[in-house]
Amino acid sequence: MTTLPSGAALAGKVAIVTGGATGIGRAIAARFVEAGASVVIAGRNAGVLQKTAIEIGCHAVAADVTREEEVKRLVAETLAKFGGVDILVNNAGVTGQVAKAEDLDIAQWDETMAINIRGTILCIKHVVPSMRARGGGAIINMSSLMGLRGYPMRSAYTATKFAVIGITEAVAQEVGIDNIRVNALCPGAVNGELMQRVIAARVAAENRPAEEIIRVNYTDKAALRRWVEPEEVAESALFLASAASSPLTGERIKVDAGRM
């Protein structure tokens, strides 16, 4: 994908990126800042959020997206500081338990549902009115390849990411009349701390070396024979946030190095 000129694509826009302190969220927030947007990052760890905000030049709001009052406060603080919201990236999420269905801890299942699904819809609920008032906007929901196809040992995460696709398609039909576009990104195996935690859990559950799991289950399954980098996902998010994708809504875009 061609990189859009820094400082141009999102000039004058205001964006909220949930889960914006680390990994994919941080990469997206940083790319949006480069492209001229005023960016608010949200997450539960105030210390890490503030550090990231200073490093990339954005504003931080500590908020738990599973709690409606905190989501309302996140949006209210964004409106007070920047006057509106043009872009929402629903990136906050957890990987869920790596286990067979019969071995699931239902408390962990519930937490995964709350963060990945409830958090997504709460942010949409409270951002849409401000986008409507601005004359439109772009919502980018972070799904996954596991939102398109089930994967063993990952039923909790898979369920949430299928739900995110459903939310994307439903809400796109609701808000298109308001010039609000809603699309989903479906990354494959993205290099970084989150993926390393998944690998570690699989090592423990499957009694296989990490190098074998990475090669057999991830990189060798990709046409490009490699991981996806967070910055590459950020470029796709920039495309969906910008006017370059103006006719696209209700879509899901794979960012997966050609994983089969």
Task: Say if 202 falls within a structural domain.
Answer: no
Q: Which of 45-59, 116-130, 159-173, 213-227 has the lowest mean pLDDT?
A: 213-227
81: number of Cβ within 10 Å: 12
* Residue 129 clears pLDDT 50, i.e. is over it: yes
Is 157 marked active-site? yes
Q: Which of 27-31, 39-43, 220-224 has the lowest mean pLDDT?
A: 220-224
For Cα atoms 202, 205, 207, give the angle at the middle one, nearest 5 degrees. Answer: 90
What gap in Å lies between CA 245 and CA 260, rounded to an integer?
26
Phi and psi at residue 28, in whole multiples of 5°?
A: -65, -45
pLDDT score recorded for residue 193? 80
pLDDT score recorded for residue 4? 44
Task: Say if 216 falls within a structural domain.
Answer: no
For 244, residues 6+ apart whose C-beta sits below 8 A from its C-beta are 4, 9
* Per-residue tokens: 114: 């709350």
Q: What's the Rg (C-alpha) of the chain?
A: 18
* Residue 2 clears pLDDT 60, i.e. is over it: no
* Residue 74 clears pLDDT 60, i.e. is over it: yes
Q: Which domain holds residue 171?
A: 14-189+229-255
* Residue 46 clears pLDDT 50, i.e. is over it: yes
**Considering its fold, how many domains does the chain have in total?**
1
Over range 68-91, report the average pLDDT. Answer: 98
Task: Say if 196 falls within a structural domain.
Answer: no
pLDDT score recorded for residue 219? 86
pLDDT band at 5 (very low <50, low <70, confident <90, very high): very low
What gap in Å lies between CA 164 and CA 140, rounded to an integer?
10
Task: Say if 211 falls within a structural domain.
Answer: no
What gap in Å lies between CA 242 and CA 140, rounded to an integer?
11
pLDDT score recorded for residue 260? 64
What gap in Å lies between CA 95 and CA 238, rounded to an integer?
24
pLDDT score recorded for residue 243? 97
Query: Active site residue: 32, 82, 109, 157, which one?
Result: 157
For 204, residues 6+ apart whose C-beta sits below 8 A from its C-beta are none
Task: Say if 44 falls within a structural domain.
Answer: yes
pLDDT score recorded for residue 215? 87
For 202, residues 6+ apart whose C-beta sits below 8 A from its C-beta are 98, 153, 208, 213, 217
pLDDT score recorded for residue 1? 40
* Per-residue tokens: 77: 């603080």
* Residue 133 clears pLDDT 50, i.e. is over it: yes
What's the mean per-residue pLDDT of the chain? 94
Task: Say if 27 falls within a structural domain.
Answer: yes
Task: Say if 87 falls within a structural domain.
Answer: yes
For 208, residues 6+ apart whose C-beta sits below 8 A from its C-beta are 202
Q: Which of 59-63, 112-116, 130-134, 150-154 has the lowest mean pLDDT?
A: 150-154
Greater confidence (87 vs 196) lies with 87
pLDDT score recorded for residue 23? 95
Beta carbons of 87 and 37 less than 8 angstroms apart: yes
Is the pTM value of this prediction over 0.75? yes
Over range 104-120, report the average pLDDT. Answer: 98
* Residue 218 clears pLDDT 70, i.e. is over it: yes
Task: Say if 108 falls within a structural domain.
Answer: yes
Over range 232-240, report the average pLDDT. Answer: 98
Which domain CATH number covers 39? 3.40.50.720
